[in-house]
């Protein structure tokens, strides 16, 4: 068994109703000046806990992040200036993946002199000396437990990753009730993103048994619960399972990370502004079909983890899993073709070019994937 | 799904050869004054890394813990005085469960004014402000990732637990090669202890899916690897799987903990000086038989996790698992009767008295266990 480094929050609280507890965690950590980052529809929900925090003597700066797109360097720098002026001892981020990513970066850059442009890449952050608490309100990104954050760099129009153990929150406060109000479309897209994290880690060239454990459980939870979460937003059991699936997907990101699905999705997000989850969801079955032959046994085990019957033949079992994932995706309302989402055939070569630039993820893919393979994957789902 | 709090090291490094890396982790954490606690046969193994640490400018105090018995308050207080005089910024504990427990307590008590007698029980430690690194050299205790430490209180002759999130190490450095030299008897006893942690958490009254995940994987690893680890000490695959099993068992301890096996073992350790692992190993199958009816399905799933066939009947499958665990225990050289270990029939009522005192663990048991049940369990394995 090869070596592996598992870095994750030392404190994970999972439970319905716990989101409002953030102020108590700040107080237990003996911090006083708190930056609370959240997003528009949530402020009303947070009113009571904000009042509670102020009553208990916490000094609060509430910053709003309500952009629809993924965060870019300009949006970030504006928030960053306000954060530095305030000098928070604790940062609490409550929202979807973008809010959490921004909150994590604000925390890591709030002291010191580093700018975002200094830290794009892996392990370039110097340190973080404040308390970081993340409360996810979607179930997909896994950002609440991962060392990753994504910013769109306006200087060169590219989406870039910042990966550092300093971006891992101290506490992840995972409250499935916070996802009740997530609309079906976003529930579906983010849920499929969690599934991608798990499948791409499990079939990864750098997969490890200690991470496979999380990946298989996440795959099982998504397959058995996503449709219910999409159709019945207030179903606490389905929302709980999806919240855990997202966490498991996030726990896969640090030690193993994703591969070709995420690499091929960069262009769809960058050029066509697909949401992150949608881009991954559309690509997942096609990339799985491409990768399947690299490890039939693992692909068959994905189907078994989903609860599908063993067909007595690895390839047949593996295929049944991919087919079932495609059906799940369709049943959740995810469009199955790029053209129905406005992608033009003449753009596919450029999308393949963009995918080839995401080497750090393509390097993880279990099967070597060249430009022509990327092109033919896009063509297969056009 | 009910709520749960998962508290664990934010940093786990798993890999052959990594034990000697402790000094680099101290340096990465920007600490300078290091207390290194280890035990007699290991100092020779550590010579190189100690030299390396000194060369890199670390100021070292090496303390030896080489008692055979579980640590008691007198031994601890002697080490504690030396530790306080030194004022370590980092504590590195390298050894079996006793060494790690003592190291964890030294770390949490090295600043401040608390004494061990102030902190027996749950959540009584004030804080810890140094870096704590644990390197296990047995595979069983799970102390490297757990919030637990055990001391024998000489004032009243009782074994007592100290449980606090401050006792969870910052880094667990899990190097399976460090267990190569562990003799077969200790390998067997500590390995069965890991199995107990997993089974007692999985069948616990307070079991949770997020912990079941660890428990089932630990059960699988122990069942499939312990015999090999006992017979071939240098088998890296078996030692790696056992190291992970121990870690998974440890991850069960904080959020769920053990139940009747551990409660009934207290008297065997206290009165007859059984090792912790031996006491648990002898009791495990009998307590499983007693508990089985409380949840046949979970007990059957234990057998399936071990890789045994589904007998088509929950009770039969569950029984096959218990029988296989008993066979594993015997094959690993664990005596199967209390009388062969010197326990006298007339002492059984007193052992049952002692077990009844461990209410905090008996409360976790899936089936209510009264004094007469404890007595009859001891009688069944006399």
Q: What's the mean per-residue pLDDT of chain B? A: 95
Q: What pLDDT score does B293 carry?
A: 96
- Is B210 within 8 Å of A5 when comparing Cβ atoms? no
Q: What is the rounded CA–CA span in Å between residue A322 and residue A300?
A: 9
Structure tokens at B100: 């790690």
pLDDT at res. A177: 97
* Chain A environment of B236 (Cβ under 8 Å): 1
In degrees, rounded to 5, the angle at the alpha carbon of residue A195 between the alpha carbons of residues A191 and A201 is: 145
C-alpha to C-alpha distance for A53 and B190, rounded to whole angstroms: 46
Q: Which residue of B has its CA nearest to A171?
A: B7
**Best interface-test mutation with A: which of B6, B129, B171, B245 has the largest number of A CBs within 10 A?**
B6
Spatial contact of B153 and B160, defined as CB atoms under 8 Å apart: yes
CB contact under 8 A, B10 and A5: no
Strands B11-14 and A4-7: antiparallel
Q: Would you call A10 and B5 a contact, using CB atoms and an 8 Å cutoff?
A: no
Q: How far apart, in whole angstroms, are the C-alpha atoms of residue B169 and residue B93?
A: 10
Q: Which of B32, B40, B41 is nearest to B61 (CA)?
A: B32
Asked if B133 and B105 count as a contact pair (C-beta separation under 8 A), the reply is no
Question: Which residue out of B2, B11, B131 would a mutagenesis test of the A interface target, given it has the greatest number of A Cβ atoms within 10 Å?
Answer: B11
- State the pTM of this model: 0.96
- pLDDT, residue A241, reads 98
Could you tell me which chain B residue has the CA closest to the CA of A241?
A: B1
> For position A158, what pLDDT does the model report?
81
Among the listed residues B216, B226, B219, B15, the one whose alpha carbon sits nearest the alpha carbon of residue A1: B15
In angstroms, the Cα distances linking B262 to A353, B185, B265, B282, B341 are: 60, 20, 5, 11, 18
| Residue contact B6–A2, C-beta within 8 A | no
- Among A64-78, A275-289, B80-94, B126-140, which is the least confidently predicted range? A64-78
Contact state of B15 with A4 under an 8 Å Cβ cutoff: yes
Smallest Cβ–Cβ distance between B14 and the set A3, A14, A213 belongs to A3
CATH of domain A11-179: 3.40.50.1970
Chain A closest-CA separation from residue B33 CA (Å): 21
Q: A interface toward B at CB cutoff 8 Å?
A: 1-18, 165, 168, 170, 176, 209-210, 213-214, 217, 236-237, 240-241, 244
Gap between the Cα atoms of B71 and B102, Å rounded: 7
Sign of the C-alpha dihedral, residues A176, A178, A183, A185? negative
Residue A111 in this model has a pLDDT that exceeds 90: no
For chain B, strand residue ranges (E) read 4-7, 11-14, 33-38, 59-64, 90-95, 121-122, 131-136, 148-153, 158-163, 171-174
Q: Which residues of B touch A (CB under 8 A)?
A: 1-18, 165, 168, 170, 176, 209-210, 213-214, 217, 236-237, 240-241, 244
Instruction: Report the pLDDT value the prediction gives residue A157, as an integer from 0 to 100.
Output: 81
> pLDDT class for A112, splitting at 50, 70, 90?
confident
Q: Which of A12, A168, A238, A310 to mutate to test the interface with B (most CBs of B within 10 A)?
A: A12
Q: Which whole number is the average pLDDT over B347-365?
A: 95
- Residue length of chain A: 382
Residue A107's pLDDT is 97
- Tell me what the mean pLDDT of segment B173-187 comes to: 97
CA distance B248 to chain A (A): 10
> A11, B165: Cβ pair inside 8 Å?
yes
CB A150 within 8 A of CB A158: no
The alpha-carbon gap from B214 to the nearest alpha carbon of chain A, in Å, equals 8
Report the distance separating Cα A220 and Cα A8, nearest Å: 22
> DSSP of B59-112, one letter per residue?
EEEEEE---SS--BHHHHHHHHHHHHHH--SEEEEEESHHHHHHHHHHHHHSSS
Element (H, E) at B192: helix B184-202
| A184-380 CATH | 1.20.1090.10
Greater confidence, B22 or B152? B22
Residues B277-331 have pLDDT tens digits of: 999 999 999 999 999 999 999 999 999 999 999 999 999 999 999 999 999 999 9
Q: Is the dihedral of CA B228, B233, B237, B242 positive or negative?
A: positive
Q: Which residue of A has its CA nearest to B210?
A: A244
**What is the C-alpha to C-alpha distance for residues B250 and B269, in angstroms, rounded to an integer?**
20
CA of B132: how far to CAs of B23, B45, B106, B145, in Å? 12, 21, 10, 11
Mean pLDDT along residues A122-146: 96
R_g (Cα) of chain B, nearest Å:
20
| Dihedral in degrees, nearest 10, Cα atoms B306, B311, B313, B319 | -50
Give me the helices (H) in chain A, please. 22-28, 42-55, 73-86, 97-109, 116-119, 184-202, 209-231, 236-253, 260-272, 276-291, 296-305, 314-331, 348-356, 359-362, 371-380
* Confidence bin at B43 (pLDDT 50/70/90): very high
- pLDDT for position B116: 87
Domains B11-179 and B184-380 share a fold: no
Q: Residue written as tokens 């406060």?
A: A173
Mean pLDDT score across all residues of chain A: 95
Smallest Cα distance from A174 to chain B, Å:
10
The residue count for chain B: 382
CA–CA dist A330, A326 (Å, integer): 6
The model's confidence at residue B159, banded by pLDDT at 50, 70 and 90, is: confident
Task: Tell me the per-residue pLDDT of A32-58, one tens digit each, with 9 for 90 and over.
Answer: 999 999 998 899 999 999 999 999 999
Task: Please tell me the distance from the alpha carbon of residue B173 to that of residue A286, in angstroms, as a whole number.
Answer: 39
A3: nearest CA in chain B?
B15
- CB distance A3–B13 less than 8 Å? yes
Per-residue pLDDT at B73 exceeds 80: yes
- Domain residues of chain B, as ranges? 11-179, 184-380
- The reply to whether residue A213 touches residue B217, judged by beta carbons under 8 angstroms, is yes
Q: Which residues of B touch A17 (CB under 8 A)?
A: 3
Residue B69 has pLDDT above 80, yes or no: no
Mean pLDDT of A234-258: 97
Q: State both tokens at A277.
A: 């989850």
A224-230, long-range: CB within 8 Å, 24+ apart, which pairs? A224/A306, A224/A307, A226/A187, A226/A188, A226/A191, A226/A192, A226/A195, A226/A328, A226/A332, A227/A328, A227/A331, A227/A332, A229/A139, A229/A179, A229/A187, A229/A191, A230/A184, A230/A187, A230/A188, A230/A191, A230/A332, A230/A333
Highest mean pLDDT among A27-41, A150-164, B106-120: A27-41
**pLDDT interval class at A70 (50, 70, 90):** confident
Model confidence at A69: pLDDT above 80: no
How much is the pLDDT for A156? Answer: 86
- pLDDT value, residue B33: 97
Surface-to-core class of residue B44, CB atoms within 10 Å of its CB (0-12 exposed, 13-18 middle, 19+ buried)? exposed
- pLDDT for A273: 87
pLDDT, position A185: 97
Nearest CA of chain B to the CA of A345: how many Å? 45
Do A9 and B10 lie within an 8 Å CB cutoff? yes
**B6: which chain A residues are within 8 Å (Cβ-Cβ)?**
11-14
Distance of residue B253 Cα from the nearest chain A Cα, in angstroms: 15
The lowest-confidence range among A195-209, B152-166, B271-285, B338-352 is B152-166
The answer to whether B192 and B281 are in contact (CB under 8 A) is yes
- Asked whether residue A322 carries a pLDDT value surpassing 80, the answer given is yes
Structure tokens at A85: 């002026």
Residues 6+ apart with CB under 8 A from A221: A241, A242, A244, A245, A248
Half-sphere exposure of B247 (CA within 13 A, CB side): 25
Query: Which of B1, B9, B213 lies closest to A10 in CB terms?
Result: B9
Structure tokens at B232: 């071939």
Q: Quick one: residue A312, left, alpha or beta (phi over 0 = left, psi -120 to 50 = alpha)?
A: left
Residue A24, pLDDT > 80, answer yes
DSSP output for A21-50: GHHHHHHHTT--EEEEEE-TTHHHHHHHHH
Chain B residues in contact with A1 by the CB 8 A cut-off are: 14, 176, 236-237, 240-241, 244
User: CA A41 from chain center: how many Å?
Assistant: 20
Average pLDDT over residues A202-230: 98
Closest CA to B270 of B159, B104, B373: B159
Q: Which pLDDT band, with edges at 50, 70 and 90, does B44 fall under? A: very high
Which chain B residue is nearest to residue A239, measuring alpha carbons? B1
Read off the pLDDT of each residue in B233-262 and give the average, rounded to a whole number: 97
Helix (H) or strand (E) holding B51: helix B42-55
Task: Please report the pLDDT score of residue B123 as a whole number.
Answer: 93
Nearest-Å Rg of the Cα atoms of chain A is 20
């Amino acid at each position: 068994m090869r070596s592996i480094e598992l870095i994750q929050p030392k404190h994970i609280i999972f439970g319905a109703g716990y989101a409002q507890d953030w102020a108590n965690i700040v107080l237990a950590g003996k911090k006083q000046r708190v930056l609370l980052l959240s997003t528009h529809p949530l402020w009303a929900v947070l009113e009571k806990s904000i009042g509670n925090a102020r009553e208990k003597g916490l000094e609060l700066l509430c910053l709003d992040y309500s952009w629809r797109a993924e965060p870019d360097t300009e949006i970030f720098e504006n928030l960053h200036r306000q954060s530095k002026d305030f000098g928070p001892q604790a940062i609490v981020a409550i929202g979807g993946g973008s809010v959490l990513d921004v909150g994590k970066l604000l925390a890591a850059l709030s002291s010191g002199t580093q700018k975002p442009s200094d830290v794009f890449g892996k392990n370039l952050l110097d340190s973080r000396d404040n308390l970081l608490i993340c409360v996810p309100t979607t179930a997909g990104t896994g950002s609440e437990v991962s060392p990753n954050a994504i910013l769109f760099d306006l200087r060169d129009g590219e989406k870039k990753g910042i990966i550092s153990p300093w971006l891992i929150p101290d506490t992840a406060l995972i409250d499935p009730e916070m996802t009740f109000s997530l609309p079906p479309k976003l529930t579906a897209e983010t849920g499929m993103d969690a599934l991608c994290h798990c499948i791409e880690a499990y079939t990864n060239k750098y997969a490890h048994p200690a991470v496979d454990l999380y990946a298989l459980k996440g795959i099982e939870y998504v397959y058995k619960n996503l449709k219910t979460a999409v159709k019945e937003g207030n179903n606490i059991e389905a929302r709980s399972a999806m919240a855990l699936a997202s966490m498991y997907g996030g726990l896969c990101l640090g030690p193993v990370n994703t591969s070709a699905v995420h690499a091929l999705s960069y262009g769809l997000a960058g050029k066509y502004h697909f949401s992150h989850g949608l881009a991954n969801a559309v690509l997942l079955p096609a990339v799985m079909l491409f990768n399947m032959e690299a490890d039939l046994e693992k692909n068959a085990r994905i189907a078994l983890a989903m609860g599908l019957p063993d067909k007595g033949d690895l390839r047949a079992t593996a295929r049944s899993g991919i087919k079932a994932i495609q059906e799940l995706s369709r049943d959740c309302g995810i469009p199955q073709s790029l053209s129905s989402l406005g992608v033009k055939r003449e753009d596919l070569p450029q999308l393949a070019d963009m995918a080839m630039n995401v080497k750090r993820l393509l390097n993880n893919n279990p099967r070597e994937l060249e430009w022509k393979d990327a092109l033919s994957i896009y063509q297969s789902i056009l």
